[in-house]
Amino acid sequence: MLASDHPARPDVLLEFDDLGIRFGGNQAVQGVTGRITPGVITAIIGPNGAGKSTFFNLISGFYKPTSGRILFGGQDITKAPTHEVVRLGIARTFQTTTIYKELSVLENAVLGHRVRTNSGLWDALLGTGRERRQRAASTEAAHVALARAGLAGQEHTLAGNLTQEAQKRVSIAMALATEPKVLLLDEPAAGINPEETVNLTRTIRELAAGGLTVVLIEHKMSMIMTLADHIMVLHHGQKIAEGSPQQVSRDPAVIEAYLGGHAEPHVKQAATEELAAEQAQIQGGHHA
């Protein structure tokens, strides 16, 4: 067991305080403070280049912050190596689908488990007894993950032969294979059609209903509005708003961030009406 910095609070899974990272002169994320509540679906939105993916890279241990800290279950993980962050229960997908197209769906999920949980691959190379036990454990975890990602029955299909949507599911399964407590999804619906988006939305909702805490970055408003319990808005690396979908979509700072300071008033009005219409449509859909 690792020592805790704070007693774990049941209402907070992940906490970040004054989180920031600078690349040369570019402050990509700056002073972001907040928390992820267990069992809540959190969406992170913001214009292109706002720092959303960088924020994921920070909380998943891929980048080390130049300021601030990150606590997971009360434990300081700010400097923890990626495999340790994964082992503690944080898994993520990448904005560009990173799957092995020449391997089977099952092999992808097995690799998702192994690559992310193994700090050394000596056992694999030497074929030790421990290696055989690990391989069995990875295969077991992979089958469970594929079922949760909606890919049962496709284990032996070549990943490259799947539809875009199914390839997205493979990357989700690779993350699920590490048995996470929180799943970070970076634009899961990018590049798939509206019908596939609805199906993927349903799977994400089922994962959340099963107890997984989901944080997603998305541009598709329909997906955000149907999934998110809570929205955090980034702009120029800073958190400019957060709250319920209704609160955030009415927030003048958010509307400004999306439209820019120079948009004509009638353009802003049209965009606001469009958003309201989309929301009404989605709410109508809920009752259907």
The contact set with ligand ADP (CB under 6 A) reads 23, 26, 28, 46, 48-54
Instruction: Give 34 or 38: the residue with its C-beta nearer to ligand ADP.
Output: 34
Residue 78 interacts, among ligand ADP, Mg ion, none and using kind-specific CB cut-offs from 5 to 8 Å, with none
Distance CA 170, CA 174 (A): 6
The mark string for 11-40 relative to Mg ion (x by CB under 5 A, - otherwise) is ------------------------------
| CB 279, min distance to Mg ion, A | 24
| CB 23, min distance to ligand ADP, A | 3
Q: Using CB atoms within 10 A of its CB, is residue 61 exposed (0-12), middle (13-18) or buried (19+)?
A: buried
Residue 48 interacts, among ligand ADP, Mg ion, none and using kind-specific CB cut-offs from 5 to 8 Å, with ligand ADP
Q: β-strand 14-23 against 67-72: which pairing, if any?
A: antiparallel
Residue 68 interacts, among ligand ADP, Mg ion, none and using kind-specific CB cut-offs from 5 to 8 Å, with none
Instruction: Give 146 or 175: the residue with its C-beta nearer to Mg ion.
Output: 175
Determine the straight-line distance between the first and last CA of the chain, rounded to whole angstroms: 49
Burial 248-263 (b: 16+ CB within 10 A, else e): bbebeebbebbbeeee
Instruction: Give 54 or 222: the residue with its C-beta nearer to ligand ADP.
Output: 54
Chosen residue from 30, 42, 53, 178 binding Mg ion by CB under 5 A: 53
Who's near 107: CB < 8 A, 6+ residues apart?
Answer: 100
Q: Using CB atoms within 10 A of its CB, is residue 47 exposed (0-12), middle (13-18) or buried (19+)?
A: middle
Q: Which of 38, 90, 74, 28 is nearest to 210 (CA)?
A: 38
| CB 254, min distance to ligand ADP, A | 14
| CB 243, min distance to ligand ADP, A | 19
Q: For Mg ion, which residue has the nearest CB?
A: 53
Q: Which of 105, 80, 109 is nearest to 93 (CA)?
A: 109
Residues forming contacts to Mg ion in the complex (CB under 5 A) are 52-53, 95
